[in-house]
Amino acid sequence: MTLLIGCLALLVISVVLLGVFRDLLYAAVALALASVILSIVLFHFGANVAGAFELSVCAGLITVLFVSTVSLTKDSDQKDEARLPALFILPAVALFAGVAYFLVRWLAPSLPAPTAAQTVPFREVFWGLRMTDVLGQISLVLVGVFGLLAILRARSAEGHHD
């Protein structure tokens, strides 16, 4: 229980830092930290597959992608952002946490007891039962790649208004 509370507290702190950091590189690192802590929480609940995914894909692969992208665009001009939104982050997180706490308290009696550990092998789940999600994930990666290429492209003068 102590580990869980500690992890959740660290998770909140890392998410707050993610919103507060002015440097995108630090924000990417804070996001990776949040993913690592979340994966610990998932392992703690016995969701080993989800934990492994969170650790490898979100904390690993996504961080590498973010850091690479940030490095590529680092030299471009970065305007100072308004300070106002940062002021709202802590109260917003506190409000969310409070609402979430009361919701969980209200809904907890309606939730069934956790089922026994899954017996279907991971390979069967990944390539058999949830292949559609894998297809969806592949498409999402593809969207990300095309999206980045589109956003980072040089504006072409091809056929400008004829």
8 A C-beta contact, residue 21 and residue 30: yes
Residue closer to other proteins by CB (options 5, 107) is 107
Residue closer to other proteins by CB (options 2, 162) is 162
Give the phi and the psi of residue 9 in degrees, each rounded to 5: -65, -45
Residues that bind other proteins (CB under 8 A): 103, 106-107, 110-112, 115, 127-137, 139-140, 142-144, 146-147, 149-151, 153-162
Rg (CA), the chain: 20
Pull the structure tokens for residue 145. 């790649």
Residue closer to other proteins by CB (options 1, 150) is 150
